[in-house]
């Protein structure tokens, strides 16, 4: 069947195929193994290995030096992105939960990236304005509270350079993108504002990954 679903390849993935392609293209070294694990009480909600690898490759493609992440968790996506930074580059990653941030700092240090990564504790809406003066940025990765994606997306397009990337995880909103809910409306506003300010796509990862290049 040549509908959009089969063209996306969704019919052909199996756990075994996903394990194989992750192993071949996106193997974990010790630092990524550590940050892909979570201690008791911390949710295991990192991006997948292939999405982490994609973040890394996308940042290399735009020669990223200044990157912002909203939603650090324990630093898995941050390590992928920090490793992609051009010399002298910097990643600011914002995390609301102090315990997550503390574990992330230890994981980033164990990866040898403490000099390039600054983890800021607080709500994205409060912390982003403190970064206004560091821009313009080469990329902004949004992966935190879903009801604020439109706010984060607006901040991103305002503070990205032309050609910079806005990237948003969970862009299908766990299957609830079209719901008449606060976060459904916020996520749709995010899609539409990115499409309006960028050349963009929503990559059909398991939960959708928006990528936009700012015009």
Among 107, 148, 170, 171, binds ligand DHB (CB under 6 A): 170
Q: Is the Cβ of residue 141 or residue 155 nearer to Mg ion in the bound state?
A: 141
From 51, 69, 143, 150, residue interacting with Mg ion (rule: CB under 5 A): 143
Is 71 a binding residue for ligand SAH by CB under 6 A? The answer is: yes
Q: Is 10 in the site for ligand DHB (CB under 6 A)?
A: no
**Nearest-angstrom CA–CA distance, 214 and 212:** 6
Binding segment toward ligand SAH, per CB under 6 A, in 83-91, 96-104, 185-193, 202-210: 96-104
Q: How far apart are the C-alpha atoms of 163 and 186, rounded to whole Å?
A: 24
The entry of ligand DHB, Mg ion, ligand SAH, none that residue 138 binds, CB within 5 to 8 Å by partner kind: none
- The residue within the footprint of ligand SAH, chosen from 97, 176, 179, 207 (CB under 6 A), is 97
Q: Using the rule CB under 6 A, is 138 a contact of ligand DHB?
A: no
Give 128's DSSP letter: G
Residue in 45, 32, 38 with CA at minimum distance from that of residue 146: 45
Helix (H, G, I), strand (E, B) or coil at 8: coil
64 and 73 in contact (C-beta within 8 Å)? no
Site for Mg ion in 144-203 (CB under 5 A): 169-170
> Which residues, 72 to 131, sit near Mg ion by CB under 5 A?
none
Between 118 and 157, how does the x/- string for binding to ligand SAH read (CB under 6 A)? -----xx------------------xxx------------
- Contact (Cβ atoms closer than 8 angstroms) between residue 68 and residue 128: yes
Assess contact for 55 and 167: CB atoms under 8 A.
Answer: yes
SS in 3 state form for 60-97?
HHCCCCEEEEECCCCCHHHHHHHCCCCCCCEEEEEECC
| Full DSSP string of 138-164 | EEEEE-S-GGGHHHHHHHHHHHEEEEE
Question: Which residue, 72 or 170, has its beta carbon nearer to ligand DHB?
Answer: 170
Q: Which chain residues interact with ligand DHB by CB under 6 A?
A: 45, 143, 169-170
Give the interface with ligand SAH as residue ranges (CB under 6 A): 45-47, 70-71, 73, 76-77, 94-97, 100, 123-124, 143-145
């Amino acid at each position: 069947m040549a509908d959009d679903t089969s063209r996306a390849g969704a019919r052909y993935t199996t756990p075994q195929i996903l394990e194989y392609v992750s192993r071949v293209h996106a193997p974990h070294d010790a630092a990524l193994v550590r940050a892909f694990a979570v201690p008791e009480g911390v949710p295991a909600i990192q991006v997948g290995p292939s999405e982490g690898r994609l973040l890394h490759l996308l940042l290399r493609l735009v020669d990223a030096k200044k990157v912002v992440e909203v939603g650090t968790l324990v630093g898995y996506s941050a390590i992928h992105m920090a490793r992609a930074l051009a010399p002298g580059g910097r990643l600011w990653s914002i995390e609301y939960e102090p315990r997550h941030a503390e574990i992330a700092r230890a994981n980033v240090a164990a990866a040898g990236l403490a000099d390039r990564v600054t983890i800021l504790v607080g709500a994205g809406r409060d912390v982003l304005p403190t970064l206004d003066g560091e821009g313009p940025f080469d990329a902004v990765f949004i992966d935190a509270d879903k009801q604020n994606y439109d706010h984060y997306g607006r901040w991103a397009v305002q503070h990205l350079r032309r050609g910079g990337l806005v990237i948003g995880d969970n862009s299908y909103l766990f299957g609830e993108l079209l719901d008449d809910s606060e976060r459904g409306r916020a996520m749709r506003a995010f899609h539409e504002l990115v499409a309006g300010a960028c050349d963009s796509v929503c990559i059909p990862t398991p939960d959708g990954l928006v990528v936009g290049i700012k015009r």
